[in-house]
């Protein structure tokens, strides 16, 4: 049985009831005017009140613009205006304001409605809140922003398809691997692995996937350009509401920089350990060398006319000097500044180096040295600079097993606003080095040579020496194109006068003084006393600091305190010097040390009238130190 036809009145009533009970807000306005305050509101339903907080009585006769706020989009409002002017329907999304001042995202469908005249006379607006979707969109945009900017690579694979193909990678993945999303999607992550990838790590990953478990592994992967990079992979299964695994998400962290920092830390720890070890070695050796060189110098004065014994004594002196040079090379690993530093004549260094290399280089290796006429003097230590250049040249020879050319050149470097510098370059035509070797060549104990043919300390010593001088070392190399090492040192002015080695063999002090010598090493104490007495001084010796203080307290007076820096017994040379200067301010003080540390500085317990003397010392150096200390205390 068909229902009776609905009348216009019944239909109107039905539509009114639907408007009153629908969950969407309905708003009807006049069709005009567009300008000014805009069309007036003629009707709102209860849903409008629930959405906005305004009752019908509060909005009838007013314009819908009362719902707009400072964050309502001007561009969207302009779209509405254009539609109203042309009597066209429009759909927009606006951020409106409720009666209580809170924001409300709404989606509006605005439609023109004809009146009895047969022309458009009203606007019907159906509004629904879109806050949830808006928040979802904002959250999605936030996630996209985060994924695009995190350093880690993020990969999502489909767990429901065979071989788990990749269906998402972020920008971090591209930055790490070099592969774009288009080159990656649909493939299995195995394409990043290679011959160096750990089989055990690969097996752990596969087991975790097959067992739907979390796992974190470290392994070696390969970039698009073929280069290796260590990576930490954290894999997690993603489950749906029923607990079924539908995706696998992997976070990849590039460990290249971490590994580099770890190597630098290990390198620094090794250098520290070597520095502490060599400091102790230097102390003991310098005490021995002080006795040897001092005794040899005293003997040379007495045996100068003996044709058989004089050459032997000279040989002992030269051996002691050589030993002192080796100790200074060891001090390249200490944490302190370079000793015996000053203006160095590069021309003389290169002369000496050329003589050494004439006996060391193979016949198939050609050495070309460009003389440093415009940049002759640098601030350095001659013996260590010679050793550094010798190391670089011999390394260059090892890189040319079939022969080649080694170049050694010097050129001035001038930069605006900076002190002048000098570049010393050592080049070769050898096999060159790749990026991985270049990144490690200055690490202590790292070597590419065969076992027994290299300690891995040479370049580390060169780097330490250059940096102690405040300089820089750089290396440029490629496979098959040779290598260039560049040492950049501070330029120095030529000294006003140059001393002649050995000229002070018969030195004698211009002043004869009473010297209190404090030295814990028996052999050094005997030798030092003999050297001082040979210079005409009256000498009393002590082996401990407290013995010296007791001697001074007994009433004996001295002109100079000559004390070792490092001594047992609870009081070292610095403390003794400070005590003596406080109780006997007229006394001069000379501190001597064979330790790896450099001269103590002001503010570290160093009295302002104390002169420092490094072991091993010759009589001329000892005499100069005593005279300088006497001048300071005058």
Give the separation between CA 387 and CA 391, rounded to whole angstroms. 6
Q: Name which of 343, 325, 413, 403 is nearest 379 in CA terms.
A: 343
Confidence of residue 604 (pLDDT cuts 50, 70, 90): very low
Q: How confident is the model at residue 549 (pLDDT cuts 50, 70, 90)?
A: very high
Is residue 618 exposed (0-12), middle (13-18) or buried (19+ Cβ within 10 Å)? buried
For 228-266, the pLDDT digits (tens) are 999 999 999 999 888 899 999 999 999 988 888 887 777
Q: Are 569 and 545 in contact (CB under 8 A)?
A: yes
Cα 375 from chain centroid? 32
Q: Which of 45-59, 120-134, 269-283, 306-320 has the lowest mean pLDDT?
A: 269-283
Q: Percent of the chain having pLDDT more than 70?
A: 81
Rounded to 10 degrees, what is the CA torsion of 595, 596, 599, 603? -90
The backbone torsions φ and ψ at residue 618, rounded to the nearest 5 degrees and listed phi first, read -100, 170
β 377-380/342-345 pair status: antiparallel
Strand partners, 409: 425
Whether the per-residue pLDDT at 606 is higher than 50: the answer is no
- Average pLDDT rounded to a whole number, residues 60-74: 89
- Phi and psi based region of residue 536 (left: phi greater than 0; alpha: psi -120 to 50; beta: remaining): left
* DSSP β-ladder status, 560-564 and 588-593: parallel
Tokens of 223: 């970039």
**Any residues with CB less than 8 A from the CB of 628 and at least 6 apart, and which?**
611
pLDDT computed for residue 593 by the predictor: 83
The ranges of the chain annotated as CATH 3.40.50.2300 are: 514-633
Distance separating alpha carbons of residues 367 and 365, to the nearest angstrom = 7
Q: Are 220 and 229 in contact, with CB atoms under 8 Å apart?
A: yes
Q: Residue 343 pLDDT > 80, yes or no?
A: yes
Task: Please report, rounded to a whole number, the percentage of residues in the chain having pLDDT higher than 90.
Answer: 26
The ranges of the chain annotated as CATH 3.30.565.10 are: 342-490
**pLDDT for residue 405:** 93
User: How far is Cα 564 from Cα 613, in angstroms, rounded to an integer?
Assistant: 9
pLDDT at 499 over 50: no
Please give the pLDDT value at position 453. 47
Ranges of CATH 3.30.450.20 domains, the chain: 8-130, 150-254
Taking 60 as the threshold, does the pLDDT of residue 83 lie above it? yes
Residue 505: predicted pLDDT = 40
Of residues 500 and 626, the one with the higher pLDDT is 626
Q: Round to whole Å and give the CA distance between 487 and 425.
A: 6
Tokens representing 50 are 């629930």
**613-624 pLDDT, tens digit each:** 888 888 888 988
484 CB neighbour count, 10 Å cutoff: 16
Nearest-angstrom CA–CA distance, 362 and 206: 55
Which among 540, 528, 536, 530 is positioned nearest to 507, based on CA atoms? 536
Residue 83, Cα to own-chain centre: how many angstroms? 61
Q: Is the pLDDT of residue 1 over 60?
A: no
Helix, strand, coil fractions of the chain, as percent rounded to 5: 40, 25, 35
Would you place residue 501 in the very low, low, confident or very high pLDDT band (cuts 50, 70, 90)? very low
Record the tokens describing residue 380, joined without a space: 């350095």
Whole-number Cα distances in Å, 204 to 122, 211, 217, 526: 70, 10, 8, 70
Rounded to the nearest 10 degrees, the angle between the axes of helix 382-398 and helix 309-330 is: 70
Tokens 């928040």, located at residue: 135
Cα separation, 554 vs 546, whole angstroms? 12
| Separation of alpha carbons 506 and 494, rounded Å | 28
| CA 615 – CA 628 distance, rounded (Å) | 17
Strand-strand pairing, 588-593 and 610-614: parallel
**Res 305 pLDDT > 70:** yes
d(C-alpha 409, C-alpha 425), whole Å: 5
Residues 398-439 pLDDT 10s: 888 888 999 999 988 888 888 899 999 999 998 888 887 888
Q: Which helix (H) or strand (E) holds 267?
A: helix 256-302
342-490, what's its fold?
Heat Shock Protein 90 (3.30.565)
- Contacts of residue 533, defined as CB under 8 A and 6 or more positions apart, other chains included, come to 539
Integer Cα distance of 21 and 47 in angstroms: 8
Q: What pLDDT score was predicted for residue 455?
A: 45
Class of domain 8-130: alpha beta
CATH code for the part of the protein at 150-254 = 3.30.450.20
Q: In what order do the strands lie in the sheet with 472-477?
A: 365-369, 404-413, 421-428, 483-490, 472-477
Residue 463 is predicted with a pLDDT of 86
* Mean pLDDT over the full length of the chain: 82
**Sole residue written with tokens 């050694």:** 408
Cis peptide before 35 (omega within 30 of 0): no
- Name residues whose C-beta falls within 8 Å of residue 496's C-beta, 6 or more positions apart in sequence: none
Residue holding tokens 């014994």? Answer: 309
pLDDT: is 372 or 413 the higher one? 413
Task: State the CATH class of domain 514-633.
Answer: alpha beta
Is the pLDDT score of 489 beyond 50? yes
Which residues have CB under 8 Å from 62's CB, separation 6+?
A: 40, 41
């Amino acid at each position: 049985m068909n229902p009776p036809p609905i009348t216009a009145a019944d239909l109107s009533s039905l539509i009114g009831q639907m408007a009153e009970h629908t969950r969407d807000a309905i708003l009807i306005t006049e069709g005009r005017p567009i300008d000014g305050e805009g069309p007036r509101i003629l009707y709102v339903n209860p849903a409008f009140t629930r959405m906005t907080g305004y009752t019908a009585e509060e909005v009838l006769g007013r314009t819908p613009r009362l719902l707009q706020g400072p964050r309502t989009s001007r561009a969207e409002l302009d779209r509405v205006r254009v539609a109203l002017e042309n009597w066209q329907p429009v759909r927009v999304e606006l951020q409106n304001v409720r009666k209580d001042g809170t924001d409300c995202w709404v989606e509006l469908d605005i439609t023109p409605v004809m009146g009895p005249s047969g022309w458009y006379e009203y606007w019907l607006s159906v509004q629904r809140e879109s806050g949830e979707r808006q928040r979802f969109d904002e959250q999605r945009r936030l996630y996209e922003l985060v994924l695009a900017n995190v350093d880690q690579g993020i990969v999502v694979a489909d767990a429901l398809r065979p071989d788990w193909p990749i269906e998402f990678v972020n920008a971090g993945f591209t930055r790490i691997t070099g592969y774009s999303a288009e080159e990656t999607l649909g493939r299995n992550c195995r394409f990043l692995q290679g011959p160096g990838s750990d089989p055990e790590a690969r097996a752990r990953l596969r087991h975790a996937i097959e067992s739907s478990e979390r796992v974190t592994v470290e392994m070696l992967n390969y970039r698009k350009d073929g280069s290796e990079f260590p990576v930490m992979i954290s894999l997690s299964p993603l489950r749906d509401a029923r607990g079924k695994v539908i995706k696998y998400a992997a976070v990849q962290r590039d460990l290249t920089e971490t590994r580099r920092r770890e190597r630098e830390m290990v390198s620094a720890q090794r250098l520290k350990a070597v520095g502490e070890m060599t400091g102790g070695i230097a102390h003991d050796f310098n005490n021995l060398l002080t006795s040897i060189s001092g005794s040899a110098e005293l003997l040379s004065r007495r045996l100068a006319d003996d044709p058989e014994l004089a050459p032997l004594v000279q040989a002992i002196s030269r051996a002691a000097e050589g030993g002192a040079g080796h100790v200074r090379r060891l001090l390249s690993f200490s944490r302190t500044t370079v000793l015996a530093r000053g203006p160095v004549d590069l021309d003389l260094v290169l002369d000496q180096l050329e003589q050494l290399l004439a006996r060391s280089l193979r016949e198939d290796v050609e050495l070309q040295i460009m003389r440093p006429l415009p940049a002759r003097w640098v601030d350095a230590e001659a013996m260590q600079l010679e050793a550094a250049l010798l190391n670089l040249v011999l390394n260059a020879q090892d890189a040319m097993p079939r022969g080649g050319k080694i170049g050694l050149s010097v050129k001035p470097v001038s930069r605006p606003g900076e002190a002048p510098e000098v570049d010393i370059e050592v080049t070769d035509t050898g096999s060159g080095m790749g990026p991985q070797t270049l990144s490690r060549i200055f690490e202590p104990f790292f070597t590419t040579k065969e076992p027994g043919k290299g300690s891995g300390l040479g370049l580390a010593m060169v780097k330490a020496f250059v940096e102690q001088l405040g300089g820089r070392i750089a290396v440029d190399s490629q496979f098959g194109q040779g290598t260039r090492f560049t040492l950049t040192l501070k330029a120095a002015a030529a000294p006003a006068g140059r001393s002649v080695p050995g000229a002070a063999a018969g030195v004698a002090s211009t002043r004869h003084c009473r010297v209190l010598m404090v030295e814990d090493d028996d052999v050094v104490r005997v030798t030092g006393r003999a050297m001082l007495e040979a210079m005409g001084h009256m000498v009393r010796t002590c082996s401990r600091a407290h013995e010296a203080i007791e001697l001074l307290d007994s009433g004996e007076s001295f002109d100079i305190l000559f004390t070792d820096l490092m001594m047992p017994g609870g009081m070292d040379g610095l403390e003794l010097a400070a005590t003596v200067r406080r109780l006997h301010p007229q006394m001069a003080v000379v501190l001597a040390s064979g330790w790896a540390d450099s001269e103590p500085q002001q503010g570290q317990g160093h009295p302002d009238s104390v002169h420092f003397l490094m072991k091993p010392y010759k009589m001329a150096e000892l005499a100069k130190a005593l005279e300088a200390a006497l001048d300071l205390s005058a």
